[in-house]
Amino acid sequence: MSSASLFPSPLSITGLCKSFGPRRAVDDVSFAVSAGEFVALLGPNGAGKSTLFQMLSGLFTADAGHAAITGIDIGAQPIAALAHLGIVFQQPALDLDLSVAANMQFQTDLHGIARPLARRRIAHWLERFGLAARANDACRSLSGGTRRKVELARALLSEPQMLLMDEATVGIDPASRAAILADVKALCRERGMGVLWATHLVDEAESADRIVVMAAGTLRFDGSAQALMKMNNHSNLTQAFLHLTRKEEGQS
């Protein structure tokens, strides 16, 4: 038995397609994320990043193609596949009237985690993100950056092997944005967890292990930041990205 079969990729996508009427939102997209790899999914607004994430999280059904979490096909075995996935969506998903701890407890209940183990995990992640003192505070009282930390901590309670971050820093201050990015990169290294970080901000992609560029629903590039800049002899990543997606940027 090969090592690939023993240790399947946290995420593998093959020929994934999704249309809304005549518009192809995701068009034959294929790539994978390895264990411990931080991959930036970079694309302008409307590129298809969120539609892709909604298929990966089981909210949308693909028209064609396959996606698997740790080798488990999402379409064929959604519950088993999604048990290994953590996700922070672009739109906040906390119950603002519940406390930080209650939001996290609700998440562990959804995953069927026994209460004693749940309490230990909640305490661990609250401490890890400096949230222990806010455990009993209503989420409504928290800043945008702190709410995002709660959502990240909540996504990690099930100890996922794959983490999806969908434009998770939109609308928060620069310091909080940098802190969350640093936290996720550190967790990627520490836990050997695959991370797919969707963003339209080039600076968030610069230090990724790999960059996947999407525009108009299609995959335009998959490789390192250096390789992307070398494609058309650009001196910085912003110029390279805009050159690759200039048609779509001009239409937005």
Instruction: Read off the pLDDT of residues 48-63 as tens digits, 9 standing for 90 and up.
Output: 999 999 999 999 999 9
Average pLDDT in the chain: 92
Report the alpha-carbon distance of residue 133 to residue 245 in Å, rounded: 44
Q: Which of 34, 42, 27, 38 is nearest to 11 (CA)?
A: 34
Of the pLDDT bands very low, low, confident and very high (cuts 50, 70, 90), residue 247 is: low
Q: Encode burial over 36-58: b for 16+ CB neighbours within 10 A, e otherwise.
A: ebbbbbbbbebbbbbbbbbbbbb
State the Cα–Cα distance between residues 11 and 245, nearest whole angstrom. Answer: 25
Three-state secondary-structure class, residue 19: strand
pLDDT at 104 over 50: yes
Dihedral sign, Cα of residue 131, residue 133, residue 139, residue 145: negative
For residues 142-149, give the mean pLDDT: 94
243/232 Cα distance (integer angstroms): 8
CA separation (Å) from 228 to 31, 52, 195, 238, 251?
A: 16, 22, 20, 10, 22
Q: CATH 3.40.50.300 spans which residues of the chain? A: 3-84+160-251
In 3-state terms the chain splits into helix, strand, coil percentages (rounded to 5) of 40, 25, 35
Residue closest to 74 by CA, chosen among 91, 50, 93, 54: 54
SS3 state at 250: helix
**Through-space distance between the first and last CA atoms of the chain, rounded to whole angstroms:** 49
Q: What is the mean pLDDT of residues 134-161?
A: 96
Model pLDDT, residue 198: 96
pLDDT at 6 over 80: no
- For 158-208, give the DSSP string: T--SEEEEESTTTTS-HHHHHHHHHHHHHHHHHHT-EEEEEES-HHHHTT-
pLDDT tier at 90, thresholds 50, 70, 90: confident
Look at the pTM and tell me if it is higher than 0.75: yes
Per-residue pLDDT averaged across 127-131, rounded? 95
Identify the CATH assignment for 3-84+160-251 out of 3.40.50.300, 3.40.190.10, 3.40.1790.10, 3.40.1050.10. Answer: 3.40.50.300
